[in-house]
Structure 1
């Protein structure tokens, strides 16, 4: 009986210890190296890094706490491991879209981020397909998604290990690990135009596609960002006519004309604009005339300014437009005459100041 009780008691104690260990494993206590996530948007793409942040604490980092080269860490399955670029679990980097990292292509996804620190100013960055292992203890070279070399930089002391997106452009960002007196930077870039266009095509098949403004915005983006102009033209034509939400406006016709101009179809572009002149406001016509002047189409601009003067007689800014048209043709005398009229009906002090400045220039024989 005693043996039986002892056995039962032993099992009970073992179960208690097991449950206790499990319970303690679930307790949330502060880490020595706090966890952090930093992110950056590039175009419509997101990059984020999740990592743990150890302090220097007066320790010698490079070559000591972080050994140079690949090392046997004495645990796990890896015989030679890089640095885990932080503390605790894998440091991870997540890319919402296909990208280039260090100039090398990589698919969207989450990757383990490792580094090989070398003597001097050299380091190797590794993105591993294994993002869930603990640190670099289970590093396997065959799981590398990409690796590349970088040049490190000397910086003022950074006590806490920090990842920072220190530079951002329209299509790229520069990410750096900064710790102690060393910075380890690398570039990340996205094919923003094609990513956005793919997103547009996808959204047009959903609720946004039932909105005229969506098609106008899509065509404008393609026009201004090197998209397929034939596709852009189809999109703007869809906004103008043929669907229950379509409506021709001065604005969307201007978008169409700009696409046609970029396709070297000047006569078609001017013709479609002629169609909407009767529905345009005085300011829309004035801005269109200014645009034509900027394109070097002085005679057509003068035609537009005259149309505005006839359709909106005596209103601001028809005389200002006529003055610009005459000045563009080198007729300063008539330009001055119209600027003096524009000065009288300018709607606010700023407009009057702009007219006066141009009037002063013309009187000195300077072009406006």
Structure 2
């Protein structure tokens, strides 16, 4: 009896070990797994799914039945399609987003689709990201539902997710299988996400680098950020901290922020101060910035300074001549453009001087 008892125990243990070992084997699937992702701004959308093939089967309304269905397994009595094969199709957002205009928090969700009929579907995101397919779907755990229209597309044998129409703040995810596309739009508040990321990073190691404060201020200036916050950032780059340094770039940047805030006098003074720290190319660009806002007096002053500092540079004379032309001073425009051509200019400078002289009928 003792021998038979221990023999039975050994047999049971062997079966348990054998089963666990078998369950952990890594063997190929009929529907291969795939992962696809897309960056929008500094945010990522990623999908992990299994890819069944059509294999000459009738897909829509048959293999994937229309509406919510009892799949005959699990706990769900009314389940959508799992939008793939095997376990859950999952979608992950690294930041808060919108799907078809509806807000969804950052995180990972089970992605399901209720294919209602030939032309309509509902995208369903479930908080049950670890469930197996739709067999244990529970509507109470829905995080989002969004109705979409489906499209007819060329045949696609393998179920595929693609990112289309990628823009600065949005992308369209398309589920494509057989001859149907089910698209849905994802959007991020990119500027808000970027600025929050900047605020966090400036409190850490990145905050000990002057250029990062300048980059932060420039981003806010160019992308609708808080200009007073941007002014504080650039002030930190200019003075008051161990890493601060007054440069042409941060003075000019501060000037542009002040100008956008309507502080014209401070802007003008900062541009003049920045000009004293500028190299040849920076001063030339500053002159063109002044031309762009029709501040001809400052533009002329900066271009003249560049000529005085670089009397053998053809481009400096070309820029000065262009400034005079825009001011309507034909005589001085011709004089400086011809001086530019006499200094063996580069091809692009020569072409510009000749073009301007032709426009002045002085070739």
TM tier, smaller? over 0.9
Residue in 2 that maps onto 1:214:
212
Q: Point out where structure 2 has 5 or more consecutive residues left out of the alignment.
A: none
Instruction: State how 1:12-51 maps to structure 2 within 5 Å.
Output: 12-51=10-49
Distance 1:173 1:364, change over 3 A: farther
**Which residue does 1:174 correspond to in 2?**
172
- Are the structure 2 counterparts of residues 359 and 52 from structure 1 closer, same or farther at C-alpha, using a change threshold of 3 Å? same
Report how many residues are paired.
Answer: 363
Distance in 2 between residues matched to 1:349 and 1:313, nearest whole Å:
19
**Counterpart contact for 1:34–1:52, Cα < 8 Å:** yes
- 1:199-237 C-alpha deviation (Å, 9 max, x unpaired): 111111111111111111111111111110001111111
Displacement, 1:83? 0.3
Q: 8 Å contact 1:122–1:149 — kept in the other structure?
A: yes
| Structure 1 unmatched runs, 5+ | none
Match of 2:270 in 1: 272
Match for residue 95 of structure 2 among 94, 97, 105: 97
**TM-score where L is the length of structure 2:** 0.96
Alpha carbons 1:260, 1:269 under 8 Å: kept: yes
Match for residue 349 of structure 2 among 335, 348, 351 = 351
CA distance in 2, matches of 1:209, 1:136: 47
**Residue 255 of structure 2: aligned partner:** 257
1:323 aligns with 2:321: yes
CA shift, 1:352, in A, is 1.4
* Alpha carbons 2:322, 2:356 under 8 Å: kept: no
Matched, 1:308 2:306: yes
Preserved CA contact (<8 Å) 1:50 1:91:
yes
Instruction: State the Cα deviation string for residues 12-71 of structure 1 (Å, max 9, x = none).
Output: 222222221111101110000000100011111111000000000000000000000000
Residue of structure 2 in register with 1:293 after alignment: 291
128-137 vs 291-300, which deviates more? Answer: 291-300
Structure 1 residue 312 displacement after superposition: 3.2
Q: Equivalent residue for 2:187?
A: 189
Q: Which runs of 4+ in 1 moved over 4 A?
A: none
| TM-aligned CA deviation for residue 335 of structure 1 | 0.9
CA–CA separation in structure 2 for the residues paired with 1:316 and 1:221: 34
Cα pair 2:40 2:168 within 8 Å, conserved:
yes
Offset at residue 346 of structure 1 (A):
5.0
Q: CA deviation at 1:315?
A: 2.8
SS class of match (1:317) = helix
Tell me how far apart the structure 2 counterparts of residues 187 and 346 of structure 1 sit (CA, whole Å).
56
Residue aligning to 1:149: 147
What's the CA shift for 1:320?
1.5
Cα-Cα RMSD: 1.5
Alpha-carbon separation, structure 1, partners of 2:361 and 2:213: 47
Shift of 1:9: 2.7
